[in-house]
Amino acid sequence: MKTKEGNFVCYDDLGICCPEEPSSFYIQNQGKKPLEIYIFIDPLCPECWALEPIIKKLQMEYANYFKIRTFLGYELKKMNPCTNPKNSRHQKQMAQSYDETATRTGMPCDGDVWYEQPISMPYNASLAVKAAELQGGAVGSKYLRLLREALFLHKQNIADEEVLIKCAEKIKGLDIGEFKCDLHSESAAKALKADACTTKEMDVQSLPTLVFFSDNVDEPGLSVPGLYDYSVYVDIITDMLGFEPEKCPPISVERFVKFYTLVASKEIAVVFDMTCEEADREMKKLQIQQKVECVPVKFGNLWRYVG
């Protein structure tokens, strides 16, 4: 038997409540959960972008057990070499880093942006994310996604204020006038500084890094730097819970794509346990039904919901 509680469906036989659709992940008050995951990223970091499919899958399968907080570690020069003076050698290194990450992980990111629209002020992008977050965590999460799509997929300079505002205009419920003011506000700057302080306090040395906390305040968090297979994160969650968590029943691929609007074949493949080729075949079925359109990119395919 199952019952509905807000945006969650509770399964009596499993003893868990699962998100009815991805929008459930963005509800501010999700009640008490046994684990909390701090995610430290840089909006310009390709490895952090490659983590996206894994985070989506964790949320789809085990959202009942944890909450997520995202922190921007923009001050880490090691992982954000964009703070170096702009020069052709630097641009080449960054372009190669993007292309190599895309080839290795399957998550599209186009290094040509560093030749066509080099980012000279990455601080602006991070500040914009915090400005969006001032209107709510859900708005901030959606804005971060759109910002990274603009950079990695559409090769746009996300340090440019015009680009930052265009990303904001795509988010339903975001007040553009307020966002423009917050871009230059002390509140956004303080929020970004607070992220930097947390990054330092957690002794985060590289990005991405996930820190897992249990509900036992006496236990230190478990820091996991880098990018690993999905099973590694599930094992960590299982170990910290002390039992094997129940998986939530999957939603349909169509509902998944409809919510996120634009997704990569790699994201579909990871979330639904497919190969990228199998994901493309599934999406072509929806394409025949005129529910999605294919957007070929340098490394793989994107799928936009149009239905």
Tens-digit pLDDT profile for residues 256-284: 999 899 999 999 999 999 999 999 999 99
In the structure, what pLDDT confidence band is assigned to residue 19 with cuts at 50, 70 and 90?
low
Residues 164-177 have pLDDT tens digits of 999 999 999 999 99
Q: What is the pLDDT of residue 73?
A: 87
pLDDT at residue 86 greater than cutoff 60: no
**What is the reported pLDDT for 89?**
86
Q: Contact, 263 vs 256, CB < 8 A?
A: yes
CB 297 within 8 A of CB 150: no
User: Which residues touch 209 (CB under 8 Å, ≥6 apart)?
Assistant: 39, 40, 73, 202, 223, 224, 225, 226
Q: Tell me the percentage of the chain whose pLDDT exceeds 70.
A: 86
Q: How confident is the model at residue 7 (pLDDT cuts 50, 70, 90)?
A: low
Q: In this predicted model, what pLDDT tens digit does every residue of 113-161 receive, in sequence order?
A: 999 999 988 999 999 999 999 999 999 999 999 999 999 999 999 999 9
Unique residue bearing structure tokens 């699962």:
18
Residue type at position 4: K
Please say whether the beta carbons of 125 and 43 come within 8 A: yes
Per-residue HEC secondary structure of the chain comes to: CEEEECCEEEECCCCEEEECCHHHHHCCCCCCCCEEEEEEECCCCHHHHHCHHHHHHHHHHHHHHEEEEEEECCCCCCCCHHHCCCCHHHHHHHHHHHHHHHHHHCCCCCCCHHHHCCCCCHHHHHHHHHHHHCCCHHHHHHHHHHHHHHHHHCCCCCCCHHHHHHHHHCCCCCCHHHHHHHCCCHHHHHHHHHHHHHHHHCCCCCCCEEEEEECCCCCCCEEEECCCCHHHHHHHHHHHHCCCCCCCCCCCHHHHHHHHCEEEHHHHHHHCCCCHHHHHHHHHHHHHCCCEEEEEECCEEEEEECC
| Whole-number percent of the chain with pLDDT over 90 | 78
Q: Mean pLDDT, to the nearest integer, of 36-51?
A: 97
pTM across the whole model: 0.90
Domains of the chain in sequence order: 21-73+204-249 (3.40.30.10), 253-305 (1.10.10.10)
